[in-house]
C-alpha cells in the first residue's frame, strides 16, 4: 500500500510515524540525535565572497596597478630598493584594506545572526524557546499570531488559525487552517489546509503542530534559490561616498597629471616625475574611505548592541540621527508591562485588591472590610472569567530549572513567582489565584472547548468551556468595546437588562479607574444553549452578560521620563500610540511628560473621522493616540512624513508590520515582538524599552559625526599632499616629497588616526541640538570649508618649510625634503585632534580618545624611525634633523590648526555677543 502523506494522517498516526509524544514533545537526547541525522533547519545560504577574493580585490584598483607597473619599470632601471619598498607598502596597504573589509563583513554577518528567528517548542514536557534553526522533525511547535512558521508543520490543534502563504502560493489572502486529516492524496499546497509551511506567516489564531520537514526538505527549501534576496546593506551615505570617491579619483588624477606635466616642463626628469605622480595619485585617492565608513558603522552597531538595540538594516544607523518623531507603543515600551490588579468594580461596588507582583497572596476588601467570596456571586463570576479566559501560566521558579528555557520564564530568583504569557492575563490569573481560583484548582471542573484569541482589532478574547451543567462562554476585553456586545448585566446576584443608565454607570466607573492610570478590562459571560453553534466569534460573542471591571496598574519604566526629556532637548517629539483607553493613556502620558500644555490626545474613533487633510493640519499638535488599531498607525506615519518628519515607529503585533515598514526607522520589540514585526523592522530593542531607542538615536548621531570627522581628516590631508606637490611644480621648485615618502604618509599618517576618529567619543552637546535634515550633504555645516582651508594651509606650510630649508642650504635637497616630510606628517597629526571637534581644537581634551593618542604616537614613532634609523634613511631618502629644523617643522605644522582654531574662537565669541537673545535663552549650539 502506498505510504500515506502527512496531510492524510490523523494525530495518532502522525505521532506514531514521526516518533513524537503529542503532549510532552521530544526528549532532549532525541533532539540531539535527530539534529545530527537531519541537519539544521536552515535554507542553504547564497554565495559568499571568499576571503581570498576579498584580498585579491584590494589590488584590483586601477591606480594601484599603475603603481605596480611603474615600480616594475623602476626595478628594470635598477632602482631595486625603491621597487621593493614600494611593493612592500602596496602589500601592507592591501592587507590593511583586507582586514578592514573582512572585519566589516564579519560584523555584518554577526548582526544578521543576532536577529535570527526563534520558535516555541514543547520538549521534555516544557515550553521553551529555541532558535528556529535548531528544530528537528518530530518537534512539537506552538504558533501564535505574528510568528513566521519555522518549518513545515502538520497541525494537531488550531484555534481560528489563519496563515498568509503568499511567499509560497502567491495567494495574498490569509487561509484558514484546520487540524483535521484530509483524505485526498494529491493536493496542491494551497489546499493542504492542515499543514503550516516554513516561511509563511500566522496572521491570526494559535495552533500546535508537529514538525514534519526541516531545512532544504521543506516546501520553501525547494524554491530556496528564488528567495535568497539579501537586504540592501549599503547605506545612503556609503552610496554617496562611493560616488564622491569616483569624482575624487578624477580630480586627483587630473591634478597629478598637471603636477607631472608642470614638473617635466620645469626640467624634472620624466621618469622620476612619473613615479612621483602615480604615488601622489595613489595617496590622494581615499580608497580606504568606504572600508573605514563600514567599520565605523559596524563598530557603532556593536556599541548599540551593548545598549540593547540591535540594528537589522544598516542604513537605519544613519537615519537614526535624523529622527524627529518617535511614535511609541505604551504597554511594555513606556511602561514596565508588569501588571497588577488593584481595583475591581462590579454591580455598582468598588473593591480594592491588595498584594504585589505575581505573588498570589492578598485580599479583596470593600470600604476596608474583607469580602467573603462564598457570599458574593458577582465576584465569584468575575474571578471565574478572569481565570478561565486566560492563557497565562503562573509558576514558582524551581531550583533545578535549567537555563535555556523561554526567556521570560528563566528570569527571577529561585522560589519567585513568575509568569509565562501575556502580563495582562497574568495579572488576572494572579487575582483569581489570590482567592483560590488558580488554573489548577479549576482544571478538573472546566474543560476548554475552543478559544477565540485576543486580537488588537476586536480588543477582546473569549473561550468556550464545558462543565457539568453545560457550556459557558467567558469573555474579557476593552470594557467600552465589550459593552457593545452585552445586553444584560449581573447586578446584586441577578441578571438584569443593561439599560442606558446602567451603561453610563459602567462607563463612568471605567473612566474613573482609567483616570488613575489603571488599565481597565471588562469581563462578561453567557451560558451557551444545548446545541447552539459557536463556530465563529460573531456567533459566540453576542448577548453577553456584563459582570464587572478590573483595573490594573502598569507603572511607567523609571528611565523613560528622562529619556523623553532628552528627546525634547534634542528636538525629537515623542508620541504615544496605544490600544489602551484614552484616559489611561493620557494619565500615563502626563506622568511621563509626553503631553505638553496645549498638546492634544485623540482616540481611534476621532482619528477615523478625520480626513487626511485634517490629520495633516493637526498631527503636529497630537501627542497621544489612544484606542487605535494597528491600521491607524500607518495613517499617522504617513501624515507625519508628509509634514517632513523622519519617523521612528515601534510595534510588536503582526498588524503593525505595514506601519513599521512605512516608517523611516521601524522598531520592533525583542521580547514581546512577533517575528513578522521584527522582520519588518530596522531596529530591534532587546529590552523592549523606550529609553533604548533614545540611546540608539544618540549612537546614530555619534556615528554620523564620527564619519564626518574622519572624512574631514582624510580629505584635508589629501588636499595638503596634492597642494604641496602641485604648488612646488608650479613654482618650478624641485620635488618636495619623494614617491616613497608620499606612500608612507598615505599608509601610516592617513590610516591609523582616521580609524581612531571612527571610534571617537561624541561631543557633549550631541543630544542638545535639532536632528539633522535627512537631505543634508555630508559636507554641509562648514565641513567642506574646513577641509579646503585646512588642506590648503597644510600644503602651503609644508611647502614653506621646504622652501625655507632649501634656501638656507640649496645644495641639500634631501634635507629640505626631510623637513617637508616631517612637516606634512606633523601637520596632519596635529590637525587630527582638531577634527574631533565641530568648533575648534581648544574645545576638547585631546587625550580623551585613547585610541587616537596611541595612533598618533605610533605614527610619530614610525616617522622618527624613518628619520633616525640609519638603515631606513637610504630607503626613505631622509636625513636626521637638528633642533632648528624641528622648530621650523613645529611652527609650520601647527599653523593650519592653531591659526584656524584661534580664528574660529574669535569668530564665535563675536557672534555670541551679536546674537544674544533678549530672553538670554541658550542658542542652538553651532555645529
Which positions are catalytic? Answer: 329
Burial (CB count within 10 angstroms: exposed 0-12, middle 13-18, buried 19+), residue 372: exposed
Task: Answer yes or no whether residue 460 interacts with ligand ATP by CB under 6 A.
Answer: yes
Which segment (353-361, 377-385, 526-534, 574-582) binds ligand ATP by CB under 6 A? 574-582
> DSSP label at 10?
-
> DSSP label at 749?
I
Q: Between 237 and 510, whose beta carbon lies closer to ligand ATP?
A: 510
For residue 697, give the nearest of 231, 115, 309 by alpha carbon: 309
Q: Between 581 and 831, whose beta carbon lies closer to ligand ATP?
A: 581
Task: Answer yes or no whether residue 456 interacts with ligand ATP by CB under 6 A.
Answer: yes
**Non-local CB neighbours of 75 within 8 Å, separated by 6+ positions:** 82, 83
d(CA 112, CA 312): 7
**Non-local CB neighbours of 516 within 8 Å, separated by 6+ positions:** 551, 587
For residue 613, list its beta bridge partners.
none
Q: Which residue has the cell 599618517?
A: 749
Q: What angle do CA 559, 565, 571 make, to 5 degrees?
A: 135
For residue 25, list its beta bridge partners.
21
Site residues (CB under 6 A) for ligand ATP, limited to 507-536: 519, 521
- Assigned C-alpha cell, 196: 503550516
Q: Between 268 and 331, whose beta carbon lies closer to ligand ATP?
A: 331
Task: Answer yes or no whether residue 705 interacts with ligand ATP by CB under 6 A.
Answer: no
User: Within 13 A of 262's CA, how many CA atoms are on the CB side?
Assistant: 19
Task: Answer yes or no whether residue 139 interacts with ligand ATP by CB under 6 A.
Answer: no
Question: For residue 37, which phi and psi values (nearest 5 degrees)?
Answer: -75, -45
First-residue to last-residue Cα distance in the chain: 79
Q: Which of 145, 205, 209, 477 binds ligand ATP (CB under 6 A)?
A: 477
Task: Answer yes or no whether residue 478 interacts with ligand ATP by CB under 6 A.
Answer: yes
Smallest separation, CB 627 to ligand ATP (Å): 7
d(CA 811, CA 879): 14
Site residues (CB under 6 A) for ligand ATP, limited to 23-82: none
Q: Between 685 and 813, whose beta carbon lies closer to ligand ATP?
A: 685
- Helix, strand or coil for residue 434? helix
Q: Which of 101, 134, 147, 580 binds ligand ATP (CB under 6 A)?
A: 580
H or E stretch covering 758: helix 750-758
Smallest separation, CB 550 to ligand ATP (Å): 10
Q: Which of 422, 675, 679, 688 binds ligand ATP (CB under 6 A)?
A: 422
Smallest separation, CB 399 to ligand ATP (Å): 31
Give the distance, in angstroms, between the CA of residue 232 and the centroid of all CA atoms in the same chain: 15
Which segment (422-430, 439-447, 777-785, 909-917) binds ligand ATP by CB under 6 A? 422-430
Which segment (219-227, 474-482, 497-505, 598-606) binds ligand ATP by CB under 6 A? 474-482
Q: Which of 476, 633, 645, 712 binds ligand ATP (CB under 6 A)?
A: 476
Q: Between 651 and 771, whose beta carbon lies closer to ligand ATP?
A: 651
Q: Between 426 and 702, whose beta carbon lies closer to ligand ATP?
A: 426
d(CA 549, CA 521): 6
Task: Answer yes or no whether residue 454 interacts with ligand ATP by CB under 6 A.
Answer: yes
Task: Answer yes or no whether residue 591 interacts with ligand ATP by CB under 6 A.
Answer: no
> DSSP label at 521?
E
Smallest separation, CB 456 to ligand ATP (Å): 4
The count of residues interacting with ligand ATP (CB under 6 A) is 21
d(CA 204, CA 614): 33
> DSSP label at 335?
B
Smallest separation, CB 130 to ligand ATP (Å): 25
Smallest separation, CB 144 to ligand ATP (Å): 12
Q: Which of 330, 712, 790, 831 binds ligand ATP (CB under 6 A)?
A: 330
Task: Answer yes or no whether residue 329 interacts with ligand ATP by CB under 6 A.
Answer: yes
Q: Between 483 and 615, whose beta carbon lies closer to ligand ATP?
A: 483
Smallest separation, CB 589 to ligand ATP (Å): 11
Q: Between 205 and 720, whose beta carbon lies closer to ligand ATP?
A: 205
- Assigned C-alpha cell, 266: 620645469
Smallest separation, CB 296 to ligand ATP (Å): 35
d(CA 474, CA 389): 6
Q: Which of 578, 663, 681, 817 binds ligand ATP (CB under 6 A)?
A: 578
Smallest separation, CB 620 to ligand ATP (Å): 21
d(CA 732, CA 448): 96
d(CA 233, CA 294): 10
Which segment (68-76, 442-450, 476-484, 492-500) binds ligand ATP by CB under 6 A? 476-484
Task: Answer yes or no whether residue 381 interacts with ligand ATP by CB under 6 A.
Answer: no
3-class SS string, 543-609:
CEEEEEEEEEECCECCCHHHHHHHHHHCCCEEEEECCCCHHHHHHHHHHHCCCCCCCEEEEHHHHHH
- Assigned C-alpha cell, 668: 520592533
Task: Answer yes or no whether residue 410 interacts with ligand ATP by CB under 6 A.
Answer: no
Q: Between 263 and 332, whose beta carbon lies closer to ligand ATP?
A: 332
Minimal CB distance residue for ligand ATP: 579
Task: Answer yes or no whether residue 839 interacts with ligand ATP by CB under 6 A.
Answer: no
Site residues (CB under 6 A) for ligand ATP, limited to 425-444: 425
Task: Answer yes or no whether residue 386 interacts with ligand ATP by CB under 6 A.
Answer: no
Task: Answer yes or no whether residue 656 interacts with ligand ATP by CB under 6 A.
Answer: no
- Region for residue 540 given its phi and psi (left: phi exceeds 0; alpha: psi -120 to 50; beta: otherwise): alpha
Q: Between 339 and 799, whose beta carbon lies closer to ligand ATP?
A: 339
Which segment (279-287, 311-319, 380-388, 573-581) binds ligand ATP by CB under 6 A? 573-581
Smallest separation, CB 894 to ligand ATP (Å): 57
Which sign, positive or negative, has the C-alpha torsion 256, 262, 266, 270? positive
Q: Which of 331, 384, 663, 878 binds ligand ATP (CB under 6 A)?
A: 331
For residue 828, give the nearest of 733, 748, 735, 708 by alpha carbon: 748
d(CA 129, CA 411): 14
Smallest separation, CB 832 to ligand ATP (Å): 47
d(CA 172, CA 163): 10
Smallest separation, CB 829 to ligand ATP (Å): 52
Q: Which of 459, 557, 573, 786 binds ligand ATP (CB under 6 A)?
A: 459
Task: Answer yes or no whether residue 579 interacts with ligand ATP by CB under 6 A.
Answer: yes
Q: Between 521 and 648, whose beta carbon lies closer to ligand ATP?
A: 521
d(CA 849, CA 865): 24
The DSSP-derived string for 263-313 is HHHTT--HHHHHHHHHHHHHHHS-TTHHHHHHHHHHHHHHHHHHTTEEESS
Smallest separation, CB 333 to ligand ATP (Å): 7
d(CA 482, CA 476): 7
Question: For residue 519, which phi and psi values (nearest 5 degrees)?
Answer: -85, 125
Q: Between 581 and 836, whose beta carbon lies closer to ligand ATP?
A: 581
d(CA 201, CA 211): 16
Task: Answer yes or no whether residue 840 interacts with ligand ATP by CB under 6 A.
Answer: no
Q: Between 224 and 339, whose beta carbon lies closer to ligand ATP?
A: 339
Which residues contribute to the site for ligand ATP (CB under 6 A)? 329-332, 422, 424-425, 454, 456, 459-461, 476-478, 519, 521, 578-581
Amino acid at each position: 500500500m502506498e505510504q500515506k502523506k502527512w496531510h492524510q494522517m490523523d494525530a495518532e498516526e502522525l505521532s506514531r510515524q514521526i516518533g513524537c509524544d503529542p503532549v510532552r514533545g521530544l526528549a532532549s537526547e532525541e533532539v540531539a540525535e535527530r539534529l545530527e541525522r537531519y541537519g539544521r533547519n536552515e535554507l542553504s545560504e547564497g554565495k559568499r565572497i571568499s576571503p581570498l577574493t576579498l584580498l585579491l580585490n584590494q589590488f584590483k584598483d586601477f591606480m594601484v596597478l599603475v603603481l605596480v607597473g611603474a615600480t616594475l619599470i623602476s626595478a628594470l632601471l635598477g632602482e631595486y630598493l625603491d621597487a621593493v619598498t614600494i611593493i612592500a607598502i602596496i602589500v601592507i596597504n592591501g592587507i590593511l584594506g583586507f582586514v578592514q573589509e573582512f572585519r566589516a563583513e564579519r560584523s555584518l554577518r554577526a548582526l544578521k545572526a543576532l536577529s535570527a528567528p526563534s520558535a516555541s517548542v514543547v520538549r521534555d514536557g516544557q515550553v521553551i524557546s529555541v532558535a528556529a534553526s535548531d528544530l528537528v522533525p518530530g518537534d512539537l511547535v506552538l504558533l501564535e499570531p505574528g510568528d513566521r512558521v519555522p518549518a513545515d508543520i502538520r497541525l494537531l490543534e488550531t484555534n481560528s488559525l489563519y496563515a498568509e502563504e503568499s511567499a509560497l502560493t502567491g495567494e495574498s489572502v490569509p487561509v484558514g487552517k484546520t487540524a483535521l486529516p484530509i483524505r485526498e492524496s494529491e493536493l496542491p499546497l494551497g489546499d493542504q489546509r492542515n499543514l503550516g509551511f516554513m516561511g509563511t506567516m500566522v496572521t491570526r489564531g494559535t495552533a500546535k503542530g508537529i514538525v514534519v520537514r526541516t531545512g532544504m526538505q521543506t516546501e520553501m527549501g525547494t524554491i530556496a534559490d528564488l528567495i535568497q534576496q539579501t537586504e540592501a546593506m549599503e547605506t545612503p551615505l556609503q552610496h554617496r561616498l562611493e560616488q564622491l570617491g569616483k569624482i575624487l579619483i578624477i580630480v586627483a588624477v587630473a591634478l597629478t597629471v598637471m603636477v607631472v606635466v608642470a614638473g617635466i616642463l620645469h626640467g624634472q626628469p620624466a621618469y622620476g616625475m612619473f613615479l612621483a605622480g602615480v604615488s601622489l595619485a595613489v595617496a590622494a585617492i581615499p580608497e580606504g574611505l568606504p572600508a573605514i565608513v563600514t567599520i565605523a558603522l559596524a563598530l557603532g552597531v556593536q556599541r548599540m548592541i551593548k545598549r540593547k538595540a540591535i540594528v537589522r538594516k544598516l542604513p537605519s544607523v544613519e537615519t537614526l540621527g535624523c529622527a524627529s518623531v518617535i511614535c511609541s507603543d505604551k504597554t511594555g515600551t513606556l511602561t514596565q508591562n508588569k501588571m497588577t490588579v488593584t481595583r475591581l468594580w462590579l454591580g455598582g461596588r468598588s473593591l480594592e485588591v491588595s498584594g504585589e507582583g505575581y505573588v498570589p497572596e492578598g485580599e479583596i476588601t470593600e470600604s476596608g472590610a474583607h469580602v467573603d467570596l462564598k457570599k458574593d456571586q458577582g465576584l465569584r463570576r468575575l474571578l471565574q472569567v478572569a481565570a478561565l479566559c486566560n492563557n497565562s501560566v503562573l509558576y514558582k521558579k524551581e531550583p533545578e530549572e535549567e537555563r535555556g528555557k523561554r526567556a521570560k520564564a528563566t528570569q527571577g530568583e529561585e522560589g519567585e513567582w513568575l509568569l509565562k504569557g501575556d502580563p495582562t492575563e497574568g495579572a488576572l490569573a494572579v487575582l483569581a489565584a489570590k482567592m483560590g481560583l488558580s488554573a489548577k484548582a479549576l482544571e478538573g471542573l472546566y474543560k476548554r472547548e475552543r478559544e477565540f484569541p485576543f486580537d488588537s482589532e476586536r480588543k477582546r478574547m473569549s473561550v468556550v468551556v464545558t462543565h457539568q451543567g453545560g457550556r459557558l462562554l467567558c469573555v474579557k476585553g476593552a470594557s467600552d468595546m465589550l459593552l457593545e456586545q452585552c445586553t444584560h448585566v449581573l447586578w446584586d446576584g441577578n441578571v438584569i437588562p443593561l439599560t442606558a443608565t446602567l451603561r453610563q454607570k459602567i462607563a463612568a466607573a471605567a473612566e474613573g479607574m482609567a483616570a488613575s492610570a489603571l488599565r481597565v478590562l471588562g469581563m462578561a459571560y453567557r451560558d451557551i444553549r444545548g446545541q447552539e453553534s459557536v463556530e465563529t466569534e460573531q456567533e459566540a460573542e453576542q448577548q453577553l452578560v456584563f459582570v464587572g471591571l478590573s483595573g490594573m496598574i502598569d507603572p511607567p519604566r523609571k528611565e523613560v521620563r528622562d529619556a523623553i526629556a532628552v528627546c525634547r532637548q534634542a528636538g525629537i517629539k515623542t508620541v504615544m500610540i496605544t490600544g489602551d483607553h484614552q484616559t489611561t493613556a493620557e494619565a500615563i502620558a502626563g506622568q511621563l511628560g509626553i503631553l505638553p500644555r496645549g498638546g492634544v490626545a485623540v482616540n481611534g474613533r476621532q482619528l477615523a473621522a478625520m480626513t487626511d487633510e485634517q490629520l495633516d493640519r493637526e498631527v503636529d499638535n497630537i501627542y497621544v493616540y489612544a484606542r487605535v488599531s494597528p491600521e491607524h498607525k500607518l495613517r499617522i506615519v504617513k501624515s507625519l512624513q508628509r509634514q517632513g518628519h523622519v519617523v521612528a515607529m515601534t510595534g510588536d503585533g503582526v498588524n503593525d508590520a505595514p506601519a513599521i515598514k512605512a516608517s523611516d526607522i521601524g522598531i520592533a520589540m525583542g521580547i514581546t515582538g512577533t517575528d513578522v514585526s521584527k522582520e519588518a523592522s530596522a531596529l530591534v530593542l532587546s529590552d523592549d524599552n523606550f529609553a533604548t531607542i533614545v540611546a540608539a538615536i544618540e549612537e546614530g548621531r555619534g556615528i554620523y559625526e564620527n564619519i564626518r570627522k574622519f572624512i574631514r581628516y582624510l580629505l584635508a590631508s589629501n588636499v595638503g599632499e596634492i597642494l604641496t606637490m602641485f604648488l612646488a611644480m608650479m613654482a618650478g621648485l624641485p620635488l618636495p616629497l619623494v614617491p616613497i615618502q608620499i606612500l608612507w604618509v598615505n599608509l601610516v599618517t592617513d590610516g591609523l588616526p582616521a580609524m581612531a576618529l571612527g571610534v571617537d567619543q561624541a561631543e557633549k552637546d550631541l543630544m542638545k541640538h535639532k536632528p539633522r535634515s535627512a537631505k543634508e550633504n555630508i559636507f554641509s555645516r562648514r565641513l567642506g570649508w574646513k577641509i579646503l582651508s585646512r588642506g590648503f594651509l597644510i600644503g602651503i606650510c609644508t611647502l614653506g618649510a621646504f622652501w625655507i630649508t632649501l634656501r638656507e642650504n640649496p645644495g641639500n635637497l634631501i634635507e629640505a625634503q626631510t623637513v617637508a616630510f616631517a612637516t606634512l606628517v606633523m601637520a596632519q597629526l596635529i590637525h587630527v585632534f582638531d577634527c574631533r571637534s565641530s568648533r575648534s581644537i581648544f574645545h576638547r581634551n585631546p587625550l580623551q580618545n585613547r585610541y587616537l593618542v596611541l595612533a598618533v604616537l605610533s605614527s610619530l614613532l614610525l616617522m622618527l624611525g624613518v628619520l633616525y634609523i640609519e638603515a631606513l634613511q637610504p630607503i626613505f631618502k631622509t636625513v636626521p634633523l637638528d633642533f632648528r629644523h624641528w622648530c621650523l617643522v613645529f611652527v609650520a605644522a601647527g599653523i593650519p590648526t592653531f591659526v584656524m582654531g584661534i580664528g574660529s574662537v574669535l569668530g564665535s565669541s563675536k557672534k555670541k555677543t551679536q546674537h544674544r537673545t533678549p530672553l538670554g535663552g541658550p542658542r542652538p549650539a553651532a555645529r
